[in-house]
Amino acid sequence: MATRRKHARVSRRGVAAVEFAIVFPLLMLLAFGLWEYGRLIQVQQILTNSAREGGRLAAIGSKSTAEVQAHVRMYLQAQGLNTTGMSDPEVTNLTSDERPDPRDAEQLDQFLIRVNFPTANCRWFFFSFTSATMTAESIFVSLADVPVALPSEEIP
């Protein structure tokens, strides 16, 4: 019976350190992956807001297409995003191809603002999404004023 007790007490020193050494890289990979995924969600929200801001400017009708594009790009830069390699935001009049500029729009013309952003510009760590782009769109209706024609004769 004494021999049985002796063998039952096997030394387990260092087992926790070995288990930690095996599990720690996996936990770090999971943590950094979640962090990167959170960053992608944050950038998508910024892109959506920038498209909304561009749509708001286009709906007012006082800014040109180039000014709306510049405003969207400045919004992204103000939020800390790198806009190098990014294509110009698209400003499209969905109602009429004859009036592509927001200043020439008529009331109730619909404008589509589309922002394409390379995902390679939004990474924080070593993960690389070089071939993908993120897209955000917004559709706004032009609020251009309709000229009011007043009758030339006096009303009694």
pLDDT band at 117 (very low <50, low <70, confident <90, very high): very high
Looking at per-residue pLDDT, the higher value among 127 and 12 belongs to 12
Asked if 119 contacts 46 with a C-beta cutoff of 8 angstroms, the reply is no
Distance set, CA 6 to CA 3, 10, 15, 130, 132 (Å) = 5, 8, 20, 60, 62
Query: Does pTM surpass 0.85?
Result: no
Domain 33-141 belongs to what topology?
Answer: Pantoate--beta-alanine Ligase; Chain: A,domain 2 (3.30.1300)
Sheet-wide strand order for 133-141: 90-93, 110-118, 133-141
The 3-state DSSP class for residue 141 equals strand
Q: For 48-96, write each residue's pLDDT tens digit.
A: 999 999 999 999 888 999 999 999 999 999 999 988 888 999 999 999 8
- Are the C-beta atoms of residues 112 and 143 closer than 8 Å to each other? no
Contact (CB, 8 A) for 115 and 139: no
What's the pLDDT at 124? 65
